[in-house]
Amino acid sequence: MRRTLSCSLLAAVTALAACGGPDVNDVDPVVLAGGGVGSGAILGELNVYVIDSATAAPLVGATVTVGALGGITDATGLVVLTGDAISGPQDVTASAVGYAVSTWFGANGANVTIPLDPTGDGPDVPTATASGSIEGWNQLNPGQGRYLVAFVAYSSTRDFGAPENQLPQPMGQVAPKNICLKAPPFIDGPCEWEMNVRVGAQTHYAFIAEGDPNGTLMDQSDDTYEILGFALKTGITLADGDLAEGELLERLDNSDAQDLTVGFGAASPGLTEFTAIPMIDLGDQLMLFPFPPVTGDSPTTTVPKTTGDLSAGSYMIVGSAATAEGGLPSSTVIARGVNPGAGAIVLPAFLATATNITAAAGTYSFTPTLEASLHTGSFSGADGAVWNLAFLDGRTSFTLPMLAADPLPAGTVRLKISGIEIPAFDALNFQLEGIFDQLNRIAENELEFSH
């Protein structure tokens, strides 16, 4: 807030000298967890931290630009900008070698923390290795002409799209080593699984199914599956490089399983393919059950009850609507705290996607999703995202700030616009850490253009 000037109109030319200049919102620099905006409106001073989005480590030597002003981050990842021009909403851009550029349009907080996404392979992800067997596997046998399959998985962190939750698995002779098969007389041995896992507290679990090849043994595309049961081991904590051998996943009793049925809400025209992934939310970790897939044509699956070792958990459903071809546009909805035992779980309507995305002579625009709390964007080339965007002031038309080197690659570029519904979102005061738990719906669309 500026002080009210009571000087004479005749002395306007000396008002600032006689009555004092604007107040300055001088706050201590603070790193906002995961990235964010806060500490009151910008007034004469702006503290910008730049961090690695994957590790939260400060990025030293990153470049921050705000209009004609700029600076290089220090050993703590901080740049402090001051002056009369630094007042009110600002377009803040951060860049660093090996990272996608990020611009937050209309950021208005005296403290801003911008996370940058690594490009290329990114930093090494800490991993461990686990191996073992499934209790009672040798006693299980498939029906005539069918086969058994067990998928062994590890629980994810709450950001289930993070690299540590997408680790590639070692390959065996016929399948990844975290999959056990029994198809007598061709494959009829013990279940000796092995998998790469993330570090930290986690649960290892398996979903066991009987597969029906429907007469085409060499073609799995038409196979159907029936869940027979589950096995798990809880209380596991691993560090980078650990090797956990001889784990026995204990099978759950059949009475500890239940049917789960999903009903899909309305979606934008063209989004006709519906899928859902049930998850057990254990607080610090998520157990995903993506197999067999829950779809609009096959809306029922079998999942564990939240009893025994899972009694602290609750169910959430992540549903998606996409085109028959896949890719974008698409829309996702998250339903939390649902009860599979209370009947069909009907998901809310899917958020409409942004439309009319255009690129013309360096100006970009889109028609927003009206129900979205926030819109974000990204420019991508063949090797992934090169420039990420956040529209904190609600703008729907923009130009990119000039940088020393143009991050947009020559050739085909994709501009993705995402509308996100976060009911409690406040563009003047937010932190990205934990924001997944506030997100209800997200819809994405894109434009391809030549650069």
Percent of the chain with pLDDT over 90: 84
Give me the pLDDT at residue 21, please. 46
Report pLDDT digits (tens) over 316-341.
999 999 999 999 999 999 999 999 98
- For the stretch 3-62, pLDDT in tens is 333 333 333 323 333 333 458 999 999 999 999 999 999 999 999 999 999 889 999 999
Check pLDDT > 60 for residue 110: yes
Check whether 406 has a pLDDT greater than 70: yes
Short-list 445, 375, 391, CA closest to 414: 445
Task: Give the global pTM.
Answer: 0.89
Q: Which of residues 201 and 22 earns the better pLDDT score?
A: 201
Residue 223 clears pLDDT 50, i.e. is over it: yes
What pLDDT is stored for residue 161 in this prediction? Answer: 83
Please compute the mean of the pLDDT values over residues 177-205 and round it to a whole number: 94
Mean pLDDT of the 271-297 span? 95
13 Cβ neighbours under 8 A, 6+ residues apart: none
pLDDT in the model for residue 187:
86
Of the listed ranges 219-223, 259-263, 267-271, 331-335, the least confidently predicted one is 219-223
Instruction: Identify the pLDDT of residue 19.
Output: 37
Q: How far apart are CA 31 and CA 38, in angstroms?
A: 10
**Distances, alpha carbon 224 to alpha carbons 96, 148, 199, 210, 299, in Å:** 48, 12, 34, 8, 13
Span 157-185, mean pLDDT? Answer: 92
Give me the mean pLDDT over the 158-187 stretch: 91
Confidence tier at 162 by pLDDT (50, 70, 90): confident
Average pLDDT over residues 244-266: 96
Q: Tens of pLDDT along 341-386?
A: 899 999 999 999 999 999 999 999 999 999 999 999 999 999 999 9
Q: By the 8 A CB rule, do 190 and 172 touch?
A: no
The pLDDT of residue 121 is: 66
**How would residue 2 be classed by pLDDT, with cut points 50, 70 and 90?**
very low
In this prediction, what percent of the chain has a pLDDT beyond 70?
94
Mean pLDDT of the chain: 92
Burial (CB count <10 Å: 0-12, 13-18, 19+), residue 193: buried
Q: Is the confidence at residue 66, as pLDDT, over 90?
A: yes
